[in-house]
A = this chain, B = another copy of it.
Amino acid sequence: MPASAIRKLVPFADAAKEAGVKVYHLNVGAPDIKSPRCSIDYLMDKCKTMHHLSYTNSAGFLELRKAFIEKYYKKIGINLDVSEILIEVAGSEAFSKAMQIAADRGEEIIVIEPFYTNYQTFAMLNGITLKAVHTDIHDGFRIPPIEEFEKVLTPKTRAVLISNPCNPSGKLFSKDEMLEIGEFCKKHDLFLISDEVYREFCYTEEPHFSAMSIPGAEQNVILVDSVSKRYNLCGARIGCIISRNKEVMAAAMKFAQSRLCPPVFGQYAALGALDTPQSYFDEVREEYIRRRDVAVKALNNMKGVFTPKPMGAFYTMAELPVDDAVNFAKWMLTEFRVDNETVMITPAASFYKTPGEGKNIARIAYVLEVPELKKAMKILEAALKAYPGRTI
């Protein structure tokens, strides 16, 4: 198992910070937005009378599963039976299990490139081969003609894996795009693993179109979800796997039993979070739109830089006028300072399977407050002018 290319930069950031340098983190998806108070308060209330903290059902508290259905999924138009949802140890466990359920060792899953790096990690751990369908930064990462999917399809293909909105690109796949992929999966009898953990971070006027809403794909779709981003409860480690396919849910339950149960304190926090008022989401959304607009405008004003306008999540991909974004990122951390400050970005190469793709691209997470974000952009711009490996 190889070390994460992204994690390799961490020691350089740590060293900079130890030397007293302020590092603006545009690299991580760990927002500074507050968790809903109703979530933490509910957990505290449960703790007051807690006698002993036993295991829950391996599928999670029945109460929590029912509450997800009634208070969240119903509201977004997804009607579920309690047998169709299972609580997982965050999105990480949910998508790794979804992949294991969909494909055996030696089989293949089609993934939309660029994709979340850990898809590759879990594929490798389970002997699954990822085949990439490329989406291009200059095309705003839109889904290519379905022929591109047919090209990578083999008799070993078992699933298509998509994240919508997409980490790392920030691309929000449209209803039409999702329907096209759904048709492809139905036609070839493939699972469609849809990672929708950024669902509440959509910046268009139309509502998010879930894979669960693709007509006739009920037996194909495995939905991966999480409270981590939605309620800023990354540390709770609570997510879920949802499917109308009974065999999928039976397999998910067997996997779940092997690790006994999901974290119980986190389950309480999730239960409390389900009472989060709509105003919370509205405020968070407005804040991210502000941040996105600042980041995208600043980036596109830099000489030789191009970024599309992302309509989801809190990331954007920026093409940079540099030889190699890995070298550039490392150089900023180790050598470049403006008033003893620097910036950390995520080189994008590890989000791609196609060799050479993403080499001059970086993922920018716009998770800082606007004034900080503006400062970070100024430093990035100065860095691009000073970097010895610049290409313009």
**A interface residues, Cβ below 8 angstroms from B:** 1-4, 7, 30-35, 40, 43-44, 47-48, 50-56, 89-90, 92-93, 96, 100, 105, 118, 121-122, 125, 127, 232-237, 251, 254-255, 257-266, 269
Contacts and interface: CB of A to CB of B under 8 A. Distances in A.
A26 to B, nearest CB: 16
Nearest to A260: B92
Q: Which are the 7 A-B pairs with shortest beta-carbon distances? A: A235-B264, A265-B265, A263-B263, A53-B235, A237-B263, A92-B259, A121-B258
Contacts of A1: 251, 254-255
Nearest to A41: B47
A51 B235 CA distance: 12
A265 B54 contact: no
A50 B236 CA distance: 13
A109 B124 CA distance: 22
Q: How many copies does the complex hold?
A: 2
A269 B265 contact: yes
Contacts of A47: 40, 43-44, 47
Given A50-B40, A52-B232, A258-B121, A237 B264 contact: yes
Contact of A89 (B31, B89, B235, B269): B89
B35 A257 contact: no
Nearest to A236: B53
A250 to B, nearest CB: 8
Nearest to A37: B50
Contact of A254 (B3, B48, B55, B237): B3
Nearest to A7: B257
Contacts of A105: 105, 127
Given A53-B35, A263-B263, A257 B40 contact: no
Given A44-B48, A47-B43, A234 B35 contact: no
Given A40-B47, A264-B235, A266-B263, A33 B52 contact: yes
